[in-house]
């Protein structure tokens, strides 16, 4: 039993990342009808926002250490981040420590901007083109984005630690009456899961309870009619693209402490999140979220030792296997709407 | 000639000439001159040109004609490679049976994958093929290690004793063709130039020519017509009482066999395989090659393959020193500025250039480089514009 709970917990954080990326992909597909292969790159850009922010915050200058000299008798210097000067030692240290959460504030405008530029500058011209062209151009864009990041940040992963406060693990088992130390769950993963929940709830709330969201949903269902009612649906869809980019970016920002950002992390996630989207059903937002968590948890179940003993290699292929079975038996995915991309 | 129309025959002869004279054409600069690093006429690279040419020609039969965008073709290449290496290890060191095995096995595997994947079309087909390829990669990497050598891959070892070849005790067997080693080369120095004629390259080139010839025949055959019909309108095809499935499946298997042939040749040239050959980025590469050259055109895939492999091997070698040498004629300040402007796009950054070019081609030239060439020719000829082949064959997916 405790094993099962451990696996479910392990699946949650990966599942949250899948769900967030798939949510953005589905938003873009549902609104603009574009298959965006550059979405993984947006996730990657998000986690590099965290890297950039932590670099900015720890930008430092040399200060003299009073009363200490090195062996040649010169004054000893040490690096001191500027934030220490501005906010004092203690507050400065906290700010540097909390770089990743702070970079959320930085990432939101940046990612919305990136999404906006992408949509207006490139993807706008591909609405009338076939899906294959959209796939190809966004795939090329993903290559370009990741090469630019590689040029500036190098090919090696960059460690971006979570704040000190979240460093340990939660002894989750004791809450449920298991022995201590059986079910451990790192705090940051818990934070990630909760964060993903908030974002998902936010997106759904935005679409469900605001006038803007209502118009967007109407546009997703029938674009032409909404246009005939005198609403500039294109403008709203562009904003939705920005929102989707921001969701992917935020997923990336918060994921930076879990997996050190590197330039190809987007591609690694992209393939899986596409599988998630088609399993959930093209254009279905709840489907994307459900399938994200489902596949994340399935993946971690498949990597349990006794599972791997019985079916060697199952942990590597489970997601693809599930995707193949679902695509063949249920043409529109788990929760796809009838008639949307069904053949 | 050979059952080809005149224009096709000319095209074939041009490709034949290019392939046979490649050691000259690709080595235009004398050895030791400043431009010598742009010489691509060394056996390893020339082999890659033609092998990836075969791969892309095969992919084009599927994508160019039927519009089904497969994102998992590298799996067939990998299967072909594994089949070939096992044939070299166990059966005979001659490459011909190895290549035949790899074609057969890749064909069988693509029949299985195609049978399942072709139940869907559009993006679902792409995802299905991608899923199959990723599964093959993951399995080759982990569970199938006894068959695939896992992460280290497979090589011919000194313990291998093929059934039909005599390998002296303790020696590593080498792949050969009728007793001639694949690595055998003839060097010919002519003035400042040095040309290398490599047996392996010529075998691969002949295979590529056969593959190219077959693809011309397929393009011009009634079967090819049917494949185009699948792309332009499946519904109408259904209403005419024809089922697209057998045609698309046949196209899928043929292109899988091409990929197998390419994989087998790769092993014949360089007797080792690793699972990374099946990773999805390898599938993406052949997609890029085909689109860049011109999907649905005869020459496009070969051009695209040559172009990308040239970039990968030559442009990636340009480093800062070479750039400084080039811009040495500029005043000092400008030199540094130029170098720092150009540097991100060459050397290790060549993927960036590739990505940008790929984007530009997809945006402005859906018919690829071939269409670009036709447009240029059209400008010079000043003839009334004819309907362009590239446009008629544009890359529309099957939906």
- Angstrom distances, CA of residue A187 to CA of A3, A126, A146, A184: 19, 43, 30, 9
Any idea which residue has 């094993």 for tokens? A3
Smallest Cα distance from A199 to chain B, Å: 27
Residue, of A100 and B109, whose pLDDT is higher? B109
Smallest Cα distance from B96 to chain A, Å: 34
Provide mean pLDDT across the span A67-96. Answer: 78
Measured between beta carbons, which residues in chain A are less than 8 angstroms from residue B248? none
Picking from A290, A279, A327, the residue whose alpha carbon sits closest to that of residue A15 is: A290
Measured between beta carbons, which residues in chain A are less than 8 angstroms from residue B134? 271, 317, 320
Structure tokens, A234: 């294109």
Give me the residue from B69, B119, B349 closest to A147, CB to CB. B349
CB contact under 8 A, A323 and B287: no
Measured between beta carbons, which residues in chain A are less than 8 angstroms from residue B67? 132
Q: Give the model's pLDDT for residue A273.
A: 81
Give me the residue from A125, A135, A316 closest to B142, CB to CB. A316
Listed by number, the residues of chain A in 146-205 with a beta carbon closer than 8 Å to a beta carbon of chain B are 147-148, 150-151
DSSP state of B94: B
Long-range contact set of residues B39-46: C-beta below 8 Å, sequence gap at least 24: B40/B310, B40/B313, B40/B314, B41/B195, B41/B196, B42/B196, B43/B183, B43/B185, B43/B196, B43/B198, B43/B200, B43/B201, B44/B269, B44/B270, B45/B309, B45/B310, B45/B313, B46/B22, B46/B198, B46/B201, B46/B205
Helix locations, chain B, DSSP H = 6-20, 22-25, 43-66, 74-86, 95-117, 122-141, 145-148, 199-220, 222-232, 234-239, 244-269, 280-293, 300-313, 320-326, 332-342, 350-364, 368-381, 389-392
Listed by number, the residues of chain B in 247-306 with a beta carbon closer than 8 Å to a beta carbon of chain A are 280-281, 284, 287-288, 291
Residue A255: phi and psi, rounded to 5, are -80, -15
ipTM passes above 0.85: no
CB contact under 8 A, A147 and B120: no
Q: pLDDT digit of tens for each residue in chain B (399 aa)?
A: 678 888 889 999 999 999 888 888 888 888 777 777 778 888 888 999 999 999 999 999 999 999 898 989 999 999 999 999 999 888 888 899 999 999 999 999 999 999 999 988 888 888 889 889 988 998 888 888 888 888 888 888 887 778 777 777 777 778 888 878 877 888 888 777 888 888 889 999 999 999 999 999 999 999 999 999 998 888 898 999 999 999 999 999 999 999 999 999 999 988 888 888 888 888 989 998 998 898 889 999 999 999 899 888 888 878 777 777 777 777 777 888 888 888 888 877 788 888 898 888 888 888 888 888 888 888 887 655 555 444 444 445 544
Listed by number, the residues of chain A in 57-76 with a beta carbon closer than 8 Å to a beta carbon of chain B are none
Measured between beta carbons, which residues in chain A are less than 8 angstroms from residue B349? 147, 150-151
Asked if the model's pLDDT at residue A225 lies above 80, the reply is yes
Domains of chain A: 2-329 (1.10.3470)
Q: What is the DSSP string of B47-63?
A: HHHHHHHHHHHHHHHHH
Listed by number, the residues of chain A in 219-278 with a beta carbon closer than 8 Å to a beta carbon of chain B are 267, 271, 274-275, 278
Q: Is B395 on the interface with A (CB under 8 A)?
A: yes
Cα(A311)–Cα(A314) distance, integer angstroms: 6
- Angstrom distances, CA of residue B295 to CA of A139, A248, B303, B361: 17, 32, 11, 11
Q: Give the model's pLDDT for residue B345.
A: 81
Structure tokens, A155: 């090919």
Give me the residue from A133, A147, A275 closest to B352, CB to CB. A147
Paired with B194 in beta bridges are B189
Q: Is A140 on the interface with B (CB under 8 A)?
A: yes
Q: Give the model's pLDDT for residue B41.
A: 80
Is-contact A296 A11, C-beta < 8 A? yes
Smallest Cα distance from B355 to chain A, Å: 5
CB contact under 8 A, B67 and A131: no
Cβ-count burial B124-160 (b if 16+ within 10 Å, e if not): bbbbbbbbbbbbbbbbbbbbbbeebbbeebbbbeeeb
> How many Cα atoms are found within 13 Å in the side-chain-facing hemisphere of A301?
13
Lowest mean pLDDT among A79-93, A242-256, B101-115, B269-283: A79-93
Is-contact B237 B66, C-beta < 8 A? no
Measured between beta carbons, which residues in chain B are less than 8 angstroms from residue A150? 349, 351
Measured between beta carbons, which residues in chain A are less than 8 angstroms from residue B123? 35, 131, 135, 278, 282, 341
Neighbouring CB atoms inside 10 A of B7's CB total: 9
Paired with B195 in beta bridges are B188
Consecutive H or E run containing A204:
helix A187-209
Best mutation target, A121, A147, A268, to test chain B (most B CBs within 10 A): A147
Q: Is B120 on the interface with A (CB under 8 A)?
A: yes
Name the CATH architecture for the domain at B20-278. Orthogonal Bundle (1.10)
Q: Give the model's pLDDT for residue B75.
A: 94
Is-contact B94 B178, C-beta < 8 A? yes
Give the contacts of B301 (CB within 8 A, at least 6 positions apart): B53, B56, B57, B59, B60, B64, B289, B290, B293, B294, B295
Is-contact A277 A22, C-beta < 8 A? yes
Smallest Cα distance from B150 to chain A, Å: 12
Query: A6-15, A215-224, B44-53, B146-155: which has the highest mean pLDDT?
Result: B44-53
Minimal-distance CA residue of chain B relative to A308: B143
Cα(B73)–Cα(B71) distance, integer angstroms: 6
CB contact under 8 A, B138 and A316: yes
Listed by number, the residues of chain B in 123-152 with a beta carbon closer than 8 Å to a beta carbon of chain A are 123-124, 126-128, 130-132, 134-135, 138-139, 141-144
Smallest Cα distance from A26 to chain B, Å: 14
- Angstrom distances, CA of residue B326 to CA of B321, B333, B339, B342: 9, 14, 9, 11
Q: Is A141 on the interface with B (CB under 8 A)?
A: yes
Minimal-distance CA residue of chain B relative to A125: B363
Q: Give the model's pLDDT for residue B382.
A: 65
Instruction: Determine the 3-state secondary structure of B177 from DSSP.
Output: strand
Smallest Cα distance from B359 to chain A, Å: 5
Cα(B285)–Cα(B312) distance, integer angstroms: 11
DSSP state of B343: G
CB contact under 8 A, A327 and B128: yes
Q: Is B362 on the interface with A (CB under 8 A)?
A: yes
> How many Cα atoms are found within 13 Å in the side-chain-facing hemisphere of B306?
20
Cα(B354)–Cα(B100) distance, integer angstroms: 34
CB contact under 8 A, A135 and B126: yes
Cα(A216)–Cα(A209) distance, integer angstroms: 11
Minimal-distance CA residue of chain B relative to A37: B123
Best mutation target, A28, A128, A132, to test chain B (most B CBs within 10 A): A132
Is-contact A280 A22, C-beta < 8 A? yes
């Amino acid at each position: 039993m405790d094993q099962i709970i451990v696996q479910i917990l392990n699946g949650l954080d990966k599942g949250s990342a899948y769900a967030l990326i798939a949510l953005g992909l589905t938003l873009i597909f549902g609104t603009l009808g574009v298959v965006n292969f550059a979405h993984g790159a947006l996730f990657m850009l998000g986690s590099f926002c965290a890297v950039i922010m932590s670099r900015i915050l720890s930008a430092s200058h040399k200060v003299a250490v009073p009363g200490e000299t090195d062996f040649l008798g010169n004054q000893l210097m040490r690096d001191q981040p500027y934030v220490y000067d501005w906010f004092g030692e203690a507050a400065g240290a906290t700010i540097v420590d909390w770089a990743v959460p702070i970079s959320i504030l930085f990432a939101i405008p940046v990612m919305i901007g990136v999404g906006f530029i992408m949509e207006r500058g490139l993807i706008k011209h591909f609405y009338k083109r076939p899906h294959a062209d959209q796939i190809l151009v966004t795939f090329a864009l993903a290559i370009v984005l990741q090469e630019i990041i590689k040029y500036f940040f190098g090919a090696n992963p960059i460690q971006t630690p979570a704040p000190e406060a979240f460093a340990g693990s939660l002894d989750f088992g004791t809450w449920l009456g298991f022995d201590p130390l059986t079910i451990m769950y790192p705090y940051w993963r818990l934070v990630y899961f909760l964060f993903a929940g908030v974002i998902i709830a936010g997106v759904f709330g935005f679409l469900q309870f605001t006038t803007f969201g209502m118009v967007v949903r109407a546009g997703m269902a029938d674009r032409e009619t909404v246009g005939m009612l005198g609403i500039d649906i294109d403008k709203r869809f562009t904003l939705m693209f920005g929102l989707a980019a921001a969701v992917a970016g935020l997923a990336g920002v918060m994921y930076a402490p879990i997996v050190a950002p590197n330039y190809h992390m987007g591609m690694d996630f992209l393939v899986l999140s596409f599988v998630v989207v088609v399993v959930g059903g093209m254009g279905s937002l709840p489907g994307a979220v459900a399938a994200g968590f489902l596949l994340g948890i399935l993946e971690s179940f498949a990597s349990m030792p006794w599972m791997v003993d019985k079916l060697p290699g199952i942990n590597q292929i489970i997601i693809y296997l599930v995707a193949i079975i679902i695509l063949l038996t249920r043409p529109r995915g788990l929760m796809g709407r009838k008639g949307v991309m069904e053949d | 000639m050979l059952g080809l129309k005149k224009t096709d025959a000319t095209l074939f002869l041009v490709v034949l000439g290019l392939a046979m004279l490649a050691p000259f054409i690709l080595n235009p600069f004398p050895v030791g001159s400043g431009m010598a690093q742009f010489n691509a006429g060394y056996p390893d690279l020339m082999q890659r040109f033609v092998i990836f040419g075969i791969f892309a020609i095969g992919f084009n039969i599927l994508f160019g004609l039927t519009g089904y965008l497969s994102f998992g073709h590298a799996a067939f290449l990998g299967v072909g490679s594994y089949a070939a290496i096992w044939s070299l290890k166990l059966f005979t060191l001659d490459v011909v049976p190895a290549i035949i095995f790899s074609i057969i096995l890749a064909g069988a595997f693509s029949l299985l994958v195609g049978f399942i994947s072709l139940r869907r079309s559009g993006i679902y087909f792409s995802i299905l093929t991608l899923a199959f390829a990723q599964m093959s990669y993951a399995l080759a990497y982990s569970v199938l290690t006894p068959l695939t050598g896992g992460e280290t891959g497979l090589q011919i070892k000194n313990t291998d004793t093929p059934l039909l070849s005599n390998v002296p005790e303790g020696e590593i067997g080498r792949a050969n063709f009728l007793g001639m080693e694949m690595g055998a080369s003839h060097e010919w120095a002519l003035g400042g130039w040095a040309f290398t004629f490599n047996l392996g390259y010529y075998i691969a080139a002949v295979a590529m020519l056969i593959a190219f010839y077959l693809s011309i025949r397929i393009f011009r055959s009634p079967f090819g017509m049917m494949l185009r019909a699948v792309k332009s309108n499946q519904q109408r095809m259904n209403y005419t009482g024809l089922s697209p499935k057998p045609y698309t499946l046949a196209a899928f298997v043929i292109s899988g066999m091409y990929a197998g042939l390419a994989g087998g040749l790769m092993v014949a040239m360089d007797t080792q395989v690793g699972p990374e050959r099946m990773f999805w980025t390898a599938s993406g590469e052949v997609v890029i090659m085909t689109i860049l050259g011109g999907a649905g055109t005869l020459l496009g895939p070969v051009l695209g393959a040559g172009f990308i492999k040239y970039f990968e091997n030559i442009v990636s070698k340009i480093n800062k020193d070479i750039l400084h040498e080039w811009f040495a004629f500029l005043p000092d300040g400008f030199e540094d500025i130029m170098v720092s402007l150009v540097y991100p796009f060459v050397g290790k950054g060549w993927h960036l250039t590739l990505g940008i070019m790929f984007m530009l081609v997809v945006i402005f030239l859906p018919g690829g480089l071939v269409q670009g060439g036709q447009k240029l020719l059209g400008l010079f000829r000043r003839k009334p514009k004819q309907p362009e082949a590239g446009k008629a064959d544009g890359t529309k997916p099957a939906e």
